[in-house]
């Protein structure tokens, strides 16, 4: 419920705390976190856990026990957790501390952007302090408010959009009907065992249950690629979620190589080598030489047009973009990019494969930066321009976090790598001109050896022990030749950045990079962390009013120039008195 902007309105806010304790119940209800069976048993949420094969038998036995009056629910024993619970939850003062802490922790996370979790705490508190009847009444009242809220409307909209996407094949229905059969991808080759390659290999064996052959140029690269999965399984083993044999079984699906041995029979190769056109084309030629004629060649490039890479191909109908997001095992989006030459069959097989990897898949058309990188670039650039104007770095980051992004743009740049940013920027600038130009002074950062978190030298300080509060590396202002100030309103900072993203998203729809506004919203929210409660760039336009968006763009245009010129499609929508959805 909380993920839809609602609360557990069927009595959940009153009954769950009674069953598993207030703190445990709040944790579940405020996050929407799901439990493993063992955890659910430990918490007392379920009475028994049994292997699936034994389910019906166990159920009969339990029912018979209840009928015979021999069943009693196990109370948690004298564990530290139970004592803590008793100390905190069984007396008024303890509970007061607990609710206070829960509110504080919650607000630090949501910054007040999500009303539902706040209301959940209110309901639980009402029940605990004033009794069940008051609790139920409160729950009904607040549920009613949430159902009507703008936040719930957007979150529910996103839920329906992603559910719809799960049912789509990624190609037109008539094309799908024409396909004789959709041969599922049953073996994968991954090129590059770096950050992305390792993550792609992991979701392929773990979620899709498909064997992976991973190639890197050297043994270290292969080792990195294998170790990534190994470490994840090791953690899960230690926590008791999987057995040693389950880990061994999964790891046996992932093998490494420094040559192309084992690649002759794979159905799809996903390359995740360095962002370099020549290198990617070389990979393509090598794969086509060694692989089957119908092998799918997928590239995980973040900015190079797929058609450019496909120029090196003998079979351009088999070349496609599979753009994953970092960290691959956590980020829900897969952006699939088709070129005018990619066959419908290759698109449909790739979409089916992406879904098996557990991804929400959008299919977009080819162009520099496709959709997500293209709208991220001007957003990041704008944050850069604001830095260049002297606004304090932490002020910019906190302005966008307050607006609803999970992390600020400057922190993001440090995470992704300032050097990576400077590789992608020229590609987009040469394609779209001045409006995509990063601030000129940013080249000084590279001259000063600032790459970001990876070399512990970026906008923020990265202490060797990785501890301590996050602080800006003040010397960066000197490198940029500026004096930091705080003289810009947080909303102005956020709107400048967000409007850049929104305007570019509109252009992507106008130019047919996006097939529809829905995919644009899903891509921005699931891939880039656009605030979910705002629904994505297109729902944001509709809810704010396109006229309001255009007025703001024009206002910034008069101050900062043509990079804020509104997209044509926005003006057309106003003329036609239409929104993107309604």
Ligand X SMILES: NC(=O)c1ccc[n+]([C@@H]2O[C@H](COP(=O)([O-])OP(=O)(O)OC[C@H]3O[C@@H](n4cnc5c(N)ncnc54)[C@H](O)[C@@H]3O)[C@@H](O)[C@H]2O)c1
Residue number of the CB atom closest to ligand X: 194
Extract the tokens encoding 125.
């508190």
- Our CB check for ligand X shows the closer of 37 and 194 to be 194
Residue 184 dihedral angles phi and psi, to the nearest 5°: -70, 150
Stretch 358-417 residues interacting with ligand X (CB under 6 A): 416
- Taking residues 414 to 443 in sequence order and writing x for each that binds ligand X by CB under 6 A, - otherwise, the string is --x---------------------------
> DSSP string covering 309-375, please?
HHTT-S-GGGEEEEEE-SSTTT--EEEEEE-TTS-HHHHHHHHHHHHHTT-EEEEEE-STTTTHHHH
How would you classify the pairing of strands 212-215 and 254-257?
A: parallel
Instruction: Give the C-alpha separation, 378 to 562, whole Å.
Output: 13
Position among 36, 265, 274, 551 found at the interface with ligand X (CB under 6 A): 274
Q: Which of 146, 135, 119 is nearest to 17 (CA)?
A: 135
CB of 529 to ligand X, least distance (A): 13
Please work out the total of residues on this chain that contact ligand X, with binding judged by CB under 6 A.
Answer: 23
CB of 452 to ligand X, least distance (A): 11
Stretch 440-479 residues interacting with ligand X (CB under 6 A): none
- Our CB check for ligand X shows the closer of 378 and 527 to be 527
Interface segment toward ligand X; rule CB under 6 A; list 72-80, 116-124, 209-217, 360-368: 209-217
CB of 582 to ligand X, least distance (A): 33
Stretch 163-202 residues interacting with ligand X (CB under 6 A): 191-197
CB of 352 to ligand X, least distance (A): 21
Extract the tokens encoding 95.
């509970």
Q: Which of 445, 573, 567 is nearest to 513 (CA)?
A: 567
Q: Left if phi > 0, otherwise alpha if psi is -120 to 50, otherwise beta: which for 45?
A: alpha
Position among 89, 168, 275, 479 found at the interface with ligand X (CB under 6 A): 275
- Our CB check for ligand X shows the closer of 44 and 194 to be 194
Q: Which of 550, 508, 496 is nearest to 375 (CA)?
A: 508
Could you say whether residue 229 binds ligand X (CB under 6 A)? Answer: no
CB of 382 to ligand X, least distance (A): 20
Instruction: Give the C-alpha separation, 364 to 477, whole Å.
Output: 39
- Taking residues 281 to 300 in sequence order and writing x for each that binds ligand X by CB under 6 A, - otherwise, the string is -------------------x
Residue 322 dihedral angles phi and psi, to the nearest 5°: -120, 100
- Our CB check for ligand X shows the closer of 118 and 419 to be 419
**Bridge partners for 337 per DSSP:** 321, 364
Active site residue 48: no
- Our CB check for ligand X shows the closer of 27 and 286 to be 286
CB of 516 to ligand X, least distance (A): 23
Extract the tokens encoding 269.
């190769």
- Our CB check for ligand X shows the closer of 215 and 374 to be 215
Burial tier of 464 (Cβ tally within 10 Å: 0-12, 13-18, 19+)? exposed
CB of 141 to ligand X, least distance (A): 44
CB of 216 to ligand X, least distance (A): 4
Position among 91, 326, 475, 516 found at the interface with ligand X (CB under 6 A): 326
Could you say whether residue 215 binds ligand X (CB under 6 A)? Answer: yes
Burial string for 249-265 (b: 16+ CB within 10 Å, else e) reads ebeebbbbeeebebbee
Could you say whether residue 308 binds ligand X (CB under 6 A)? Answer: no
Q: Please tell me which residue in 335, 382, 495, 504 is annotated as part of the active site.
A: 335
Could you say whether residue 221 binds ligand X (CB under 6 A)? Answer: yes
- Our CB check for ligand X shows the closer of 276 and 489 to be 276
Whether the CB-CB separation of 222 and 193 falls below 8 Å is answered with yes
Residues 6+ positions from 405 with CB-CB distance below 8 Å? 529, 530, 531
Burial tier of 529 (Cβ tally within 10 Å: 0-12, 13-18, 19+)? middle
Stretch 492-521 residues interacting with ligand X (CB under 6 A): none
Position among 13, 301, 342, 411 found at the interface with ligand X (CB under 6 A): 301
Cα torsion 304, 308, 313, 317: sign: positive
- Our CB check for ligand X shows the closer of 30 and 272 to be 272
Position among 161, 273, 508, 546 found at the interface with ligand X (CB under 6 A): 273
Helices (H), 389-516: 393-403, 409-416, 418-432, 443-447, 475-480, 490-510
Q: Which residues are catalytic?
A: 335
Binding site for ligand X (CB under 6 A): 191-197, 215-217, 221, 272-275, 279, 300-302, 324-326, 416
């Amino acid at each position: 419920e909380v993920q839809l902007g609602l609360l557990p309105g069927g009595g959940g806010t009153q009954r769950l705390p009674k069953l598993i304790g207030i703190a445990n119940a709040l944790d579940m209800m405020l996050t929407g976190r799901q439990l493993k069976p063992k955890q659910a048993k430990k918490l007392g949420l379920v009475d028994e856990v049994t292997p699936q094969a034994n389910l019906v038998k166990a159920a009969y036995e339990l029912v018979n026990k209840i009928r015979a009056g021999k069943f009693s629910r196990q109370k948690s024993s004298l564990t530290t957790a139970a004592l803590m619970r008793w100390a905190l939850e069984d007396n008024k003062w303890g509970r007061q501390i607990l609710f206070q802490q829960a509110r504080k922790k919650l607000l630090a996370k949501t910054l007040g952007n999500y009303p539902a979790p706040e209301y959940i705490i209110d309901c639980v508190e009402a029940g605990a302090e004033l009794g069940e009847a008051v609790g139920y009444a409160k729950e009904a009242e607040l549920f009613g408010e949430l159902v009507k809220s703008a936040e719930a409307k957007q979150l529910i909209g996103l839920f329906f959009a992603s559910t719809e996407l799960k049912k789509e094949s990624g190609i037109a229905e008539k094309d799908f009907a024409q396909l004789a059969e959709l041969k599922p991808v049953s073996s994968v080759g991954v090129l590059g065992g770096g950050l992305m390659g390792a993550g792609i290999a992991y979701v392929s064996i773990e979620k899709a249950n498909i064997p992976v052959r991973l190639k890197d140029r050297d043994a270290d690269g292969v080792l990195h690629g294998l170790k990534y999965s190994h470490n994840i399984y090791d953690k899960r083993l230690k926590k008791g979620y999987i057995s040693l044999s389950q880990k061994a079984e999964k790891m046996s699906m992932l093998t490494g190589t420094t040559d192309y041995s084992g690649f002759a029979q794979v159905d799809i190769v996903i390359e995740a080598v360095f962002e370099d056109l020549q290198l990617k084309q070389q990979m393509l030629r090598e794969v086509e030489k060694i692989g089957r004629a119908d092998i799918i060649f997928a590239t995980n490039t973040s900015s190079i047009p797929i058609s450019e890479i496909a120029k090196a191909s003998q079979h351009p109908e088999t070349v496609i973009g599979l753009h994953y997001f970092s960290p691959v095992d956590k980020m829900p989006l897969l952006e699939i990019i088709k070129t005018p030459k990619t066959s419908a069959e290759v698109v449909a097989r790739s979409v089916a494969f992406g879904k098996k990897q557990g991804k929400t898949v959008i299919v977009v058309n080819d162009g520099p930066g496709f959709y997500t990188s293209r709208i991220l670039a001007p957003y990041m650039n704008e944050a850069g321009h604001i830095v260049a104007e002297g606004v304090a770095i932490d002020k910019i980051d906190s302005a966008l976090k307050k607006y609803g992004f999970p992390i600020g743009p400057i922190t993001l740049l440090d995470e992704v790598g300032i050097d990576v940013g400077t590789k992608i920027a020229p590609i987009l600038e040469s394609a779209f001109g001045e409006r995509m130009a990063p601030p000129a002074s940013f080249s000084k950062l590279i001259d000063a050896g600032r790459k970001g978190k990876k070399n512990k030298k970026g906008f923020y300080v990265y202490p060797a022990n990785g501890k301590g509060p996050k602080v800006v590396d003040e010397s960066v202002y000197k490198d940029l030749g500026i004096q930091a100030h705080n003289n810009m309103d947080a909303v102005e900072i956020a709107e400048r950045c967000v409007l850049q993203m929104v305007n570019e998203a509109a252009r992507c729809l106008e130019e047919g990079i996006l097939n529809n506004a829905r995919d644009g919203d899903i891509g921005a929210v699931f891939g880039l962390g656009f605030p979910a409660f705002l629904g994505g760039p297109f729902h944001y336009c509709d809810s704010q009013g396109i006229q309001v968006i255009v007025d703001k763009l024009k206002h910034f245009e008069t101050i900062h120039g043509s990079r804020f010129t509104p997209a044509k499609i926005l003006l057309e929508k106003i003329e036609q008195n239409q929104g993107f959805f309604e």
